[in-house]
Structure 1
Amino acid sequence: MIEAARLTMGGIDLDPMSHPVANELVRASEFWTSKDGDVFDRRWSGRVYLYPPRKSQLCTQALEKLWREHSQGLVTEAVFFCDRFELLRACPWLHDFPLCFPYQKPKILRLTGRQLDPIESYRNDSWGFVSYFPDYQSAAPVVATERFIKAFAPVGRVVQNCIEESDWVKHWRGS
């Protein structure tokens, strides 16, 4: 999945929730750890790869921060991975972005000493999803989305909303 993210964006400028050992896989130009202070108070920019810790509230906060920074043009494009399907309900605007649902359960790694090892006992009924926030600044969104589809098609089923409905927020808030 990380390689597909790199292919989609042409590289990774920032991983705002990482670790030095994890960054050996991600290879972001800049990464922040929990020791770098509150990542939500910092400005995110460039091409962002985000796989937040599994805590539900933290996933929601991270996704909302990514969305705000992307909407303001600070984050040019991003790939977000999470195994919390409830975010698809809690953040319905996610459906406006291309999504990938992996064919296989991703290998979840944990830091053990100085290396990353697969979590053998990882039990989760959901396999997660990947959301792509396209580059609206330097490339046509269609071209950027096509890069995502090409890179992630081997990973899983890629879907995107092709219906423009301006009233979805009103319907969502009314339910």
Structure 2
Amino acid sequence: MSVEWVTPKAYINMARQVMGGIDLDPASSDFAQINVQAERYYTPDDDGLGNPRFGRVWLSPPNGRGSFAAFTDRLVEEYLSGRVLEAIALVPNNTDTAWYHRLFRVPNMRVCLKTGRIRFETRDRKPGTPAQGQSFFYLGPNVDRFKEVFSPIGNVWGAA
């Protein structure tokens, strides 16, 4: 069984400051919801990839071959359709991948290239630090607020 890494609450609180709340976490678990506290969430048993997207979304896709592409592509599709009003996606800095570039091409998106690596939380309270850094992508109308909130933890870039 793999170790589940959960985003620390400080970063979830930053997402709440930008979006005002989290309506949906489509790639989650009961343990992750201790920090995220989304109005609705999908676990692996719920088929988070196939279920509807809506409102304000927090997304930290599961690790695994193809997971980042599948979850981020779906997020972009649902955002461009208007079903997702705004979203923050926490992903690895895989700048050489097609899925990362698709996120980067969303109109008016912003990305925070986090300085240093996130120390994720685990059930046994041992920190989990990945081999690469992370990016927070923001899709939505509050780009100035995203920059204000996320600039203290890294460089914020975006397309107009």
Shorter-chain-normalised TM-score: which range?
0.7 to 0.9
Offset, 1:90: 0.5
**Mapped pair 1:108 → 2:108:** no
| Cα distance between partner residues in 2 of 1:131 and 1:27 | 20
Normalising to structure 2: TM-score of the pair?
Answer: 0.83
Q: What's the counterpart of residue 102 of structure 2?
A: 93
**Mapped pair 1:130 → 2:136:** yes
Q: Is the 8 A contact 2:111 2:138 kept in 1?
A: yes
Q: What's the counterpart of residue 12 of structure 1?
A: 22
Aligned letter for 2:84? V
Q: What's the counterpart of residue 158 of structure 2?
A: 160
| Cα distance between partner residues in 2 of 1:100 and 1:42 | 28
**Among residues 43, 55, 80, which one is paired with 1:71 in the alignment?**
80
Please say which structure displays the higher CA radius of gyration: 1
Normalising to structure 1: TM-score of the pair?
Answer: 0.77
| Cα distance between partner residues in 1 of 2:83 and 2:23 | 12
Q: Is the 8 A contact 1:110 1:117 kept in 2?
A: yes
Offset, 1:93: 3.3
**Mapped pair 1:26 → 2:36:** yes
Q: 1:93 to 1:123 in 2, by over 3 A?
A: closer
Q: Is the 8 A contact 2:26 2:49 kept in 1?
A: no
Aligned residues with identical type, % of pairs = 29
Offset, 1:84: 4.6
Count of residues paired in the alignment: 146
| Cα distance between partner residues in 2 of 1:123 and 1:152 | 20
Deviations 1:52-71 (A, max 9, x none): 11214101100000011111
Q: Is the 8 A contact 1:51 1:81 kept in 2?
A: yes
Extract structure 1 runs of 4+ deviating beyond 3 A.
none
Aligned letter for 2:157? V
Structure 1, unaligned runs of 5 or more: 135-140, 163-175
Q: What's the counterpart of residue 51 of structure 1?
A: 60
- SS across alignment from 1:153: helix
Aligned letter for 2:135? F
| Cα distance between partner residues in 2 of 1:26 and 1:52 | 14
Offset, 1:20: 1.3
Q: 1:20 to 1:106 in 2, by over 3 A?
A: same
| Cα distance between partner residues in 2 of 1:73 and 1:145 | 17
